[in-house]
Structure 1
Amino acid sequence: MPLELVTLPALSDNYTYLLHDSASGATACIDVPEAEPILDELAKRGWTLTEIWLTHHHHDHIGGVEDLLKTCDAKVTGAKSDRHRLPTLNREVADGDSFEFGGEVVDVLDVSGHTIGHIAFVVPNSGYAFTADSLMALGCGRLFEGTAGQMWDSLQKLAALDPETIICSGHEYTQANARFAITVDPDNDALKARIDRINALRSGNQPTVPSKLSEEVATNPFLRAADPAIQAHLDMIGAAPAEVFAEIRARKDRF
């Protein structure tokens, strides 16, 4: 059985995640925008928080750590290269590292681009990838610190995961991302169908994340820079995918 996953909204448009192993009682929280919804959910389920995994240093992903640790004695994991901008870490990790949680292996990927030192946590046996602001539902994070080439390389790492992987990203941006995506991939029937599903979910105030990697590969323009239809629409037939990605990202920034 896969580890139990709980998706929690936080702040205005963030998501945080709880990952629970019923056999050991171990519970991890991935990113901490604020403490209150996490504490409420832990209390409701009778779980004890044992670990906190941080993807990157932005305040809307770490701002609640101090308050959470006032109540929970949890081990904090984050990128060694980013430790100067993160809360105090009990475990420092880097690209290619792995650690154990709930009897499963957790792999660490450097997915720099949105920030330098941004990491993703991949739990392959249960089929989860916690990507925060790297790969997002129908999008990717804005390039605040890294380059388009870095982000493209990071997205290729994530795209190479099992297509059934559940992508646990950090924000409810999907509807806005969809409005942009159709402008660069207007003939994609899978994208059109996804947009209809997204609009239906949001009209009922329902979350659009997590999402499945196979759906992102089929509809997310930031993963599809090598697609001939997108290249033709952008008048970039035959261009290197990294260059096409840079153009898509630039258009999104102006959208």
Structure 2
Amino acid sequence: MDLNTVIEIRDARHPAPWRPGDAWLAGGTYLFSEPQPHLRRLVDLGRTGWTPVALGPDGSLEIAATCTIAQLSRFAKDLAAEAAPLFEQCCRAFLASFKIWNVATVGGNLCTALPAGPMISLTAALDGECLLISQDGVRRRTRVADFVTGAGRQVLAEGELLRSITLPARALAGRTAFRQASLYGQGRSGVLVIGTWEPLDGSWALTVTASTVRPIRLRFSGPPAAEALREALDSAVADDEWFDDLHGLPEWRRHMTFRFAEEIRRGLTAR
């Protein structure tokens, strides 16, 4: 879609004062999908040259905000980590066209903050941490599970940039289990639940996305009993936090979330 109110595109490598009507441009798959009448200038991140994905010396994984879904998928195929299959499962949860697959970015998926965003699911489940940079250069970090605060809402301040997401080595070494449901064969995720079990300290976690307006991450010191998991999940999600749109009623999303949570608890613990 043409953004006919945009009168300028600026290269992000050449800083300039942020002003009303500015927006960061990465893949642009959401930005160009619907009218944006409030925009006047786009700040293009496409030539920043950030390394899409890199392993750190401590075994952690840094994913640049500009990393595309296709780049992440290719990298994960050669990733020697127990959690590697989860990357492809979440990438495929896009059910996207070839064009979207090669243009959409990890950072864009997080910043759009849609409940069904599978990069939110992936990075929240692996206890990811976002690096945010303000217009005056101040850096701060926040967990992915706290970055998204509601449907279409996140913690970015005006002009603040999501630079990267870091996944810790301990999470990459953990076992994972993935469950997803949609009302349609090729439809948007209505429920996406991920379980993780970290070998270093035996901690166990459940991450709920798509069925809720924000990521819900429950962490336990070890595999929980069925009743303990159910009570924790019931307490963590308020009645008005079950998402409601044409891709699923809140009652259905809640039912499937609890069902998948128990399936994951049994399957992941038995491995």
Task: Give me the TM-score of the superposition, normalised by structure 2.
Answer: 0.28
Higher-RCO chain (CA-CA 8 Å, sequence separation at least 6):
2
